[in-house]
Structure 1
């Protein structure tokens, strides 16, 4: 029996469960075993198994019927209205982030202090240590980008960033779930390059790298 690694347990459990569904262990309309049976099969606790079911329900693979149990509704994620609306919201957030963060990166490269650069380095290292769990990854990623806006010394930009931060967090989590992968070396390397541009007082490079990073996210979903 395949078990999951300790990081990102719910996501990994969801993928293992999805694989079993696609392999035909349960047909459409079939009922999954209860949490007490399913959890040890996945090598996780009941709460994690419950979260894995919720993730697949969000993709349209499973449905929970009150008092009856969990049933398979599809063997592949459907392209439905929920997904379409989810993508639209993510794209809108990325556009808003681009409007604020590209200019903020340029200003940060010009205006950042030595102390702010040290904090940015700490935030980047923290981001690198939290690439296994979606929520932790997004939280540390946003902390890094917020510090760039802080280093821009533009109170209005910071107000704008903080204003849509909760929506941005949810949208980024949704985006990574749609992508199915996140936190790879290429992605983290891009953030290292943004940091280096700011450290080197290179506004043009900081803006260019930030725009390219956000454009790549946009194009992936567009």
Structure 2
């Protein structure tokens, strides 16, 4: 199939053409693409443009150029930027993501936490109960507590995912607390204390259940 390129930048348009053909199933996952000369003739551009387009798709994780072997399909679509996904997601979707991440992280924290981790969790727990906190400061203290629990799981992927959620959830929490009564801040301190205690007791199942129950309550509050 021959596709026409309308305007520059040529390499980007060729990359789009190749991606459309991959999405259409012309080259399945793991399949080797035709050579640059063949693709250039099909699309109507030079080999250097095809090479640049392949490099662009390789940078997006779609293609894998292997020295001496050819270019292979490693994904059928471009993975969207994580920050863009979070900005577009509803706040409930973000909280559901937090539930999945933090429940597993809490379970691992109970298994892996060190004495230093536990001290950090306890300090963060006390910090969210400090007197005179503004709403913004309270939310930051709450995020610090949850991050301390996730960090105690000693899993860099889970921690990076949690950090990605923080900016999106922080604004929603601030808005929620400004609409709710001031007692909301104090009301959920026992739930956080139970989570810290479960981590301290090295009880993975209890820790996971406690984390899920607390965040599910948050989800209901945000509806």
Q: 2:185 aligns with which of 180, 183, 186?
A: 183
The equivalent of 1:193 in structure 2 is 194
Q: Aligned partners of 1:93, 1:178: CA distance in 2, in Å?
A: 20
The equivalent of 1:206 in structure 2 is 207
Equivalences for residues 117-156 of structure 1 within 5 A: 117-129=118-130, 132-156=133-157
Q: Aligned partners of 1:112, 1:205: CA distance in 2, in Å?
A: 15
Unaligned segments of structure 2, at least 5 residues: 1-88
Per-residue CA deviation, residues 87-122 of structure 1 (Å, 9 max, x unaligned), is x83322211211111111111011000111011111
* TM-score of the pair, normalised by structure 2: 0.57
Q: Aligned partners of 1:130, 1:151: CA distance in 2, in Å?
A: 26
The equivalent of 2:100 in structure 1 is 99
Equivalences for residues 44-123 of structure 1 within 5 A: 89-123=90-124
Unaligned segments of structure 1, at least 5 residues: 1-87
Asked whether the 8 Å contact 1:121–1:195 carries over to 2, the reply is: yes
Aligned length: 134
Other structure's SS at 1:201 match: coil
Per-residue CA deviation, residues 115-152 of structure 1 (Å, 9 max, x unaligned), is 11011111111111056421011000000100111100
Q: Aligned partners of 1:150, 1:196: CA distance in 2, in Å?
A: 16
Quickly say closer, same or farther: Cα 1:97–1:132, change in 2 above 3 A. same
Quickly say closer, same or farther: Cα 1:178–1:89, change in 2 above 3 A. farther
Alpha-carbon RMSD: 1.6
Quickly say closer, same or farther: Cα 1:130–1:138, change in 2 above 3 A. farther
